[in-house]
Amino acid sequence: MIRSKRMIQTFTELVRIDSLSREEGEIAERLVRELKSLDAVVRIDDAGTRVGGNTGNVIAAIPGTKAAEPVLLSAHMDTVVPGRGIKPIVESDRIRSDGTTILGGDDKSGLAIILEVLTVLKERKLPHPPVEVVFTICEEAGLVGAKHLDARSLKSRHGLVLDSCAADSLFTRGPAADKLEFKVMGLAAHAGLCPEEGINAIQIAGEAIARMRLGRIDAETTANLGLIEGGSAVNIVPDRVVVRGEARGHDEARLTAQSSHMADCFRDAARAHRILKDGREVQATVDATISRDYPRMNLGEDAPVVKWVMAAAKKLDVPIRCQKTGGGCDANIFNGQGMNVANLGTGMREIHTVNEFLLLGEFNQTARVVLEMLRAV
């Protein structure tokens, strides 16, 4: 029942619409028109205004034709750079970029699947539960659109985000993440004339990082420092350095312990650096900021949406496995707001690169699974 050629046409049209984070206005207008043509009640929230974008999240409700609990379907509208002027190339088994930009399958493959499934439900007059659709902004900018969505306005408690790679992967577990920032304050001095009158913030940061556990901490915890800035000239002892990073973990207690360890490394390094200047002691300091960026996703195999997907896959005789991921997505935010939402792959590969492509067989499989799931709920 899924019309693959139509879905491919929809996808290629969507990826030709530029929609970098905070610039999703044009594609939002297109999606609103599509959803209204499917008899959906559509609105756009104020998330765009709150994050400095040109549109908010697109939220739609389609009445059910049978008595059942509502189901959420979600994908994000924004893409990463280089994402302007995308020229999709359709081949026998895949759609790829022309090599100068990304393709935008992340996540316009999810958008196209949802539109196709809803279209088939309407044109075939198939029984289905109430469906709520959320097309988010700024997912690539840190799940910002989902964070600014008022989940209390949704009736759905269960659903799917379509925003991952292999179509045989249903991601039910994903880590929580902490955002980390460490500001090291030392003391400036002339590096040639009187370096002993300064406290080198770069040196302190280096000592902290050298004693820190980073990378793969254990099977469920990772940590990374990704940005560092500081100093003003090579002949000045640097008095300030800012280091930014993250820690992720499926176990929130171990995640908290890792983030605290990283902060302690900076504090311990700073405590070791002090000087006497003009009769007073000057001590290096660290301002450590740790904030929970997003909550974990942790669905059991008995969660309704997991059972719905697995039943649909069994009926269609296609393989799908529950898996865990080290990445975050909008599903993390939905789950943190009291919902039960899993992330199903759409067939995209080599995302966030100019070599990105979408496997058509998997693209079609996911659409069939979502359609069958809605018919069976």
Domain boundaries, the chain: 4-174+296-376, 176-294
Which of the listed CATH numbers 3.30.70.360, 3.40.718.10, 3.40.50.720, 3.30.470.20 matches domain 176-294?
3.30.70.360
CA-nearest of 169, 73, 156 to 337 is 156
What number of residues does the chain have? 377
CA-nearest of 192, 199, 161 to 282 is 199
Average pLDDT over residues 244-267: 98
Which residues lie across from 276 on neighbouring strands? Answer: 281
Model confidence at 277, pLDDT cuts 50, 70, 90, reads confident
Helix (H, G, I), strand (E, B) or coil at 361: helix
- At the top level of CATH, the class of 4-174+296-376 is alpha beta
Helix (H, G, I), strand (E, B) or coil at 197: helix
pLDDT at 364: 98
% residues pLDDT > 70 (the chain): 100
Does residue 3 register a pLDDT over 90? yes
pLDDT at 286: 98
Domains 4-174+296-376 and 176-294 are alike in CATH topology: no
User: pLDDT tens, 292-334?
Assistant: 999 999 999 999 999 999 999 999 999 999 999 999 999 999 9
* Helical packing angle, 304-316 and 360-376, nearest 10°: 120
State the catalytic residues.
78, 139
Which residues lie across from 111 on neighbouring strands? Answer: none
What single letter denotes the amino acid at residue 229? E
Model confidence at 35, pLDDT cuts 50, 70, 90, reads very high
CA-nearest of 171, 177, 159, 10 to 75 is 159
pLDDT at 278: 87
For residues 159 and 341, is the Cβ–Cβ distance under 8 A? yes
For residues 247 and 178, is the Cβ–Cβ distance under 8 A? yes
The mean pLDDT of the chain is 97
CA-to-CA distance for 256 and 261, rounded, in angstroms? 9
Model confidence at 247, pLDDT cuts 50, 70, 90, reads very high
